[in-house]
Structure 1
């Protein structure tokens, strides 16, 4: 356990940041799942859900929850999966 005041403060700060990162990741993962399910079911609001997923991914990258290259990779893979789903239908 931390002994100095500054170390105790760092523990508190890192815990707050961990929770905020966890929230950001959860939000974009949920948005991605909604976009994929919309693509599978052929829903009309696919474009809106895809835009929402991209927005959540970008916000997670902006806040530092994920790296910017990881955000780009996830967006690329998402659009690739959606295009593949649309072609098979």
Structure 2
């Protein structure tokens, strides 16, 4: 348990930050799931639109420190290659 005033404050801040980060992560996963569903349906137009909507959300997660930069880049690369493959 936190004893000093600073460690008590840190514990409070960490709880608030955890809720915010959880919401951000959930939002990112929702956008990624929409892309996955569009790919599964085989609709390239919908998949492209969903990917365009997901990209800024994923990059926002990077700037906020929720997702690592390389993880976001890897996810975008793999999703975009799968969307591109729908046209073939």
Q: What is the TM-score of this pair, normalised by structure 1?
A: 0.84
Count the aligned residue pairs: 87
Shift of 1:81: 3.0
Q: Which runs of 4+ in 1 moved over 3 A?
A: none
Alignment of 1:42-57 (within 5 A): 42=43, 44-57=45-58
1:17 alignment partner in structure 2? 17
Counterpart Cα distance in 2 of 1:47 and 1:81: 10
Indicate the RMSD between aligned Cα atoms, in angstroms: 1.7
Counterpart Cα distance in 1 of 2:5 and 2:66: 26
1:74 alignment partner in structure 2? 75
2:6 alignment partner in structure 1? 6
Shift of 1:82: 2.7
Q: Any stretches of 5+ residues in structure 2 without a counterpart?
A: none
Contact 1:36 1:82 in 2 (8 A): no
